[in-house]
Amino acid sequence: MTKRLHSNSYIAILAFIFSGGLLFSSCGGASIDNKDMRGNDQSLNLEDLMDSDERTEEKRICTDWEMDLEKSMLSVNGNCRKNNILRLEFDEYLVVEEPNNPNPVILSPIAALKTADSEGFYERVFKVNGKPFSGKLIGYHAGKRIIEANFKKGYRNGVFTVWANTGRVYENTLGTGTDKGEPIHILEQTARKPILYLYPNEEQKINVQLDFEGKLTTTYPKYPQQTGWEVTAQTDGTLQDTEGKEYYALYWEGESDYKYDLSTGFVVAGESSIAFLEEKLATLGLNRREANEFINYWLPELESNPYNLIHFAQKEYTDQAPLFITPQPETTIRVFMVYQRLEKEQTIKEQILISPERKGFTVVEWGGMEQVTQSNLLK
């Protein structure tokens, strides 16, 4: 098993502040602005790493790899899962929390901050087998996920997450690095991809207001805090804002530290996710197009886990994110999936789902989140 990092190894105390720049750096954690991306770079398709006979494999974790930290170059020998997900096995945790030490400790340069004498990892194009990498990199240790990073044409893109040995989760936490001991930012739960469809009986001007018990992080079109969304909706769901711009749905995301009750639900093997979602989403009232979009968004995450505990939050969710819609819809369907990764199958009380009837002016919303614990049993 070869997992060599071509750089001076060291142990360093993390000192950092939430800044939008993230971890996974060979010798640094500097953030990259989107303007630094080079659109003409040739991105790596992970199927280049696989023989044709291996393309049907569900998952392969690479154990034979080398990282040249000075060149931001990863060399992989072996076959990895397709769909632009690259999985690596590590010999140890990258971040460790120790008793009586308030700061986590870095055990590998691959999770180190940028220092005065080292160039940040994200300041160079990250290459796999010589090609700029686009996709998701997931690192494992002893069967547990310890790092996850997204890349686009060689640059970090979107969410970056690290799990310490205690199970504590860090996301969007590492900036340029200092020695001042700034406080740690623990991952907050993110309500992801709630998307709203509006289906009136006839062309209708509609006002939608959201009172989310948390922090809105992304909305599209931009959500006016004072008035909410003002749109004109057609019977097929097509929306038009006050400026005449057209949309097919309203979108929002937000952060909250609320923990959902997962005492009921379903334990589903990752490989069974499609059949499960198709059945349950139909039961919950989504039509084929809505269910298709839900599955397209969540399937890569659910399928990549051995098992998932899945719960469809109902009153808990609507209490956390109440909607006020004028005129009032006759039917409101809000599907919010909360899931946790499981390493093995477990027994749980099955959740009872109620199938609604779609009639009259109908509003449909779907979204979800991964509820992460500090126990590391689920990640």
- Count of H-run helices and E-run strands, the chain: 3, 26
Tokens of 310: 């899945």
d(CA 232, CA 234): 7
Residue 156 has pLDDT above 50, yes or no: yes
Average pLDDT, the chain: 75
Q: What is the pLDDT of residue 153?
A: 81
Name residues whose C-beta falls within 8 Å of residue 222's C-beta, 6 or more positions apart in sequence: none
Length of the chain: 379
Residue 215 has pLDDT above 70, yes or no: yes
Q: What is the pLDDT of residue 83?
A: 66
**Stronger pLDDT, 287 or 68, i.e. the higher one:** 287
**Statement: the pTM of the whole predicted model exceeds 0.75:** no
Segment 308-324 shows an average pLDDT of 95
- Cis amide prior to 200 (ω within 30 degrees): no
Strand order in the sheet with 331-342: 215-220, 250-256, 189-199, 362-370, 331-342, 307-313, 264-269, 349-350
Give the domain ranges of the chain. Answer: 2-171, 189-370
Residue 10 has pLDDT above 90, yes or no: no
How sure is the predictor about 57, in pLDDT bands with cuts at 50, 70 and 90? very low
Q: What is the pLDDT of residue 33?
A: 35
Query: Of the candidates 111, 58, 65, which has an alpha carbon nearest to the alpha carbon of residue 89?
Result: 65
pLDDT digits (tens, 9 = 90+) for 69-107: 777 788 888 766 556 788 889 888 888 877 766 567 767
d(CA 132, CA 303): 25
Angle, in degrees to the nearest 10, between helices 273-283 and 288-303:
140
d(CA 149, CA 156): 7
pLDDT digits (tens, 9 = 90+) for 234-244: 999 999 999 99
Residue 53 has pLDDT above 90, yes or no: no
Residue 114 has pLDDT above 60, yes or no: no
d(CA 92, CA 186): 21
How sure is the predictor about 191, in pLDDT bands with cuts at 50, 70 and 90? low
Q: What is the pLDDT of residue 278?
A: 98
How sure is the predictor about 373, in pLDDT bands with cuts at 50, 70 and 90? low
Residue 332 has pLDDT above 90, yes or no: yes
How sure is the predictor about 41, in pLDDT bands with cuts at 50, 70 and 90? very low
Segment 356-368 shows an average pLDDT of 97
Paired sense of beta strands 331-342 and 229-233, if any = unpaired
Q: What is the pLDDT of residue 171?
A: 65
Q: What is the pLDDT of residue 165?
A: 83
